[in-house]
């Protein structure tokens, strides 16, 4: 369709699924996620966990928030005509520019290229919200205009950040993060945009698959590179096996419950949507941790065994706990089911101190978690684990 009036889609639309354009949009984020993960690996392997984690959070926030902005808008107003597709492709170009600037932002606190990428994305998305406002009336029009104004104001803040003193940039970054998070809260107070619960849950699930897939890809490359130069199979194979078990279990656990049944309003949806920053970031960080574990096994990472283990255990435990907090606890019945994931997260953390085979032990813990969850679910007839 060359042009279609942009009006709100129905919240109760049947068979609402992700479109090919949305899948393509997600795929382009693989580059940005990989760039953030690579920088985290380098920082952890060099023994700078504090700097690495902070830098990783900052650049990953940009990735996640750009994806969030597009995803929720598309769930409410995707009309799939030519102007909409062109605007989305412009946003994709912005994502790629942002990805190109991740290295400088992480290593040198230079956000110039990243902010340029954001400007490209924001110009396109602001135009989309203004187009939505033109097709709406009353509170819906007001909400769309607030979104557009919020995007412009926040983007002015990001540009101003470039001219701030270097020692103040990180603190000002947090202020801008808070401002970004407030825009949907303010815009949705008078009118809930008509996002589709099943569609949103599917979109989040697809991005979860992307970050877990990036983990598998990063781990595979790390092990292959190590094998090309070393013969440490007795250490590398357990890391590979354990990492695979962790990722398989992470996938199983995330998709075990029908989350769309819980998202009935913004009261549930906004904390759930925002909380996924930690789900996505920890899921991608598992792969970075496995790379660090591989580098330590072959003598390239000059850190302790405990530090190498923690690079995997901390994000794996965070993933388990956040999935329980956002997903699983809403569908569990009884203390036993509620405790499965929190206990698994604690046991995974404890694996940090189990020596050279910690990743394998954590993988076995993850597999046991799924097994226990399935058994309890079979007994109670509730989704696992």
Q: What is the pLDDT along the chain (385 residues), one digit of tens a residue?
A: 666 778 888 888 888 889 999 999 998 888 888 888 888 988 998 888 888 899 899 899 999 999 999 999 999 998 888 999 999 999 999 999 998 898 888 888 888 999 999 999 999 999 999 999 998 888 999 999 999 999 999 999 999 999 988 788 888 989 999 999 999 999 998 888 999 999 999 999 999 998 998 888 777 776 776 667 666 677 788 888 899 899 999 999 999 888 888 888 888 889 999 999 999 999 999 999 998 998 888 888 889 999 999 999 999 999 999 999 998 888 888 888 889 999 999 999 999 999 889 999 999 999 999 999 888 877 765 545 5
How many beta carbons lie within 10 A of that of residue 17, not counting itself? 10
Q: How far from the centroid of its chain's Cα atoms is residue 377's Cα?
A: 27
Q: What is the DSSP letter of 334?
A: S
Output 17-24 pairs: Cβ under 8 A, ≥24 positions apart: 17/199, 17/202, 18/199, 18/202, 18/203, 18/206, 19/78, 19/80, 21/80, 21/85, 21/88, 22/71, 22/74, 22/78, 22/203, 22/206, 23/206, 24/92
> Whose structure tokens read 């393509």?
24
State whether residue 332 is helix, strand or coil: coil
Second CATH level (architecture) for the domain 197-380: Up-down Bundle (1.20)
Residues 300, 67: Cα–Cα separation, whole Å: 34
Helix or strand or coil: residue 357? helix
Can you give the pLDDT at residue 149? 96
How far, in whole angstroms, is CA 84 from its chain's centroid?
A: 24
Query: Rounded distance, CA 278 to CA 60, Å?
Result: 10
**How far is 167 from 182, CA to CA, in rounded Å?**
25
pLDDT at site 381: 56
Q: What is the pLDDT of residue 285?
A: 93
Helical segments of the chain, H only: 20-45, 49-77, 82-108, 112-134, 138-161, 166-187, 197-229, 233-254, 266-297, 305-326, 335-350, 358-380
Q: Domain locations in the chain?
A: 20-187, 197-380
pTM of structure: 0.92
Within 8 A by CB and 6+ apart from 342, the residues are: 320, 321, 324
In whole angstroms, how far apart are CA 171 and each of 116, 151, 174, 177, 180? 20, 20, 5, 10, 15
> Nearest 5 degrees, angle CA 332-CA 333-CA 337?
65
* Tokens linked to 130: 């203004």
Token pair 């003598």 is found at 299
What pLDDT shows up at residue 233?
72
b/e string for 157-189 if b means 16 or more Cβ within 10 A?
A: ebeebeeeeeeebeeebeebbeebbebbeebbe
pLDDT for the residue 297: 86
């Amino acid at each position: 369709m060359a042009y279609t009036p942009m009006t709100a889609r129905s919240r109760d639309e049947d068979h609402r699924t992700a479109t090919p354009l949305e899948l393509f949009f997600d795929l382009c984020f693989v580059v940005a996620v990989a760039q953030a993960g690579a920088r985290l690996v380098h920082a952890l392997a060099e023994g700078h966990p504090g700097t690495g984690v902070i830098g990783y959070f900052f650049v990953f926030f940009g990735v996640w928030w750009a994806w969030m902005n597009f995803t929720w808008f598309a769930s409410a107003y995707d009309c799939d005509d030519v102007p909409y597709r062109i605007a989305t492709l412009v946003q994709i170009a912005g994502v790629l520019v942002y990805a190109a600037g991740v290295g400088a932002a992480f290593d040198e606190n230079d956000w110039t290229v990243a902010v340029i990428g954001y400007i490209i994305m924001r110009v396109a998305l602001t135009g989309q919200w203004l187009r939505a406002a033109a097709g709406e009336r009353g509170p819906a029009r007001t909400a769309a205009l607030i979104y557009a104004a919020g995007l412009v104001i926040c983007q002015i803040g990001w540009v101003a950040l470039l001219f701030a003193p270097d020692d103040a940039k990180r603190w000002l970054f947090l202020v801008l993060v808070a401002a970004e998070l407030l825009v949907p809260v303010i815009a949705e107070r008078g009118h809930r945009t008509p996002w589709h619960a099943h569609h949103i849950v599917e979109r989040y699930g697809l991005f979860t698959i992307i970050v877990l897939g990036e983990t598998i890809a990063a781990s595979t490359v790390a092990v292959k590179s190590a094998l090309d130069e070393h013969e440490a199979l007795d250490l590398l194979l357990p890391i590979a096996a354990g990492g695979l078990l962790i990722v398989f279990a992470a996938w199983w656990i995330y998709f075990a419950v029908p989350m769309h049944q819980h998202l009935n309003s913004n009261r549930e949806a906004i904390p759930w949507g925002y909380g996924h920053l930690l789900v996505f970031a920890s899921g991608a960080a598992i792969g970075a941790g496995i790379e660090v574990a591989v580098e330590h096994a072959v003598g390239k990472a000059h850190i302790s065994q405990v530090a190498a283990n923690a690079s995997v255990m901390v994000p794996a435990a965070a993933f388990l706990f956040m999935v329980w907090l956002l997903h699983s606890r809403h569908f569990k019945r009884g203390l036993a089911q509620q405790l499965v994931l929190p206990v698994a997260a604690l046991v995974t953390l404890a694996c940090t101190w189990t020596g050279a085979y910690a990743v394998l032990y954590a993988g076995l813990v993850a597999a046991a978690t799924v097994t226990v969850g399935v058994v309890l679910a079979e007994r109670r007839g509730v989704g696992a684990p």
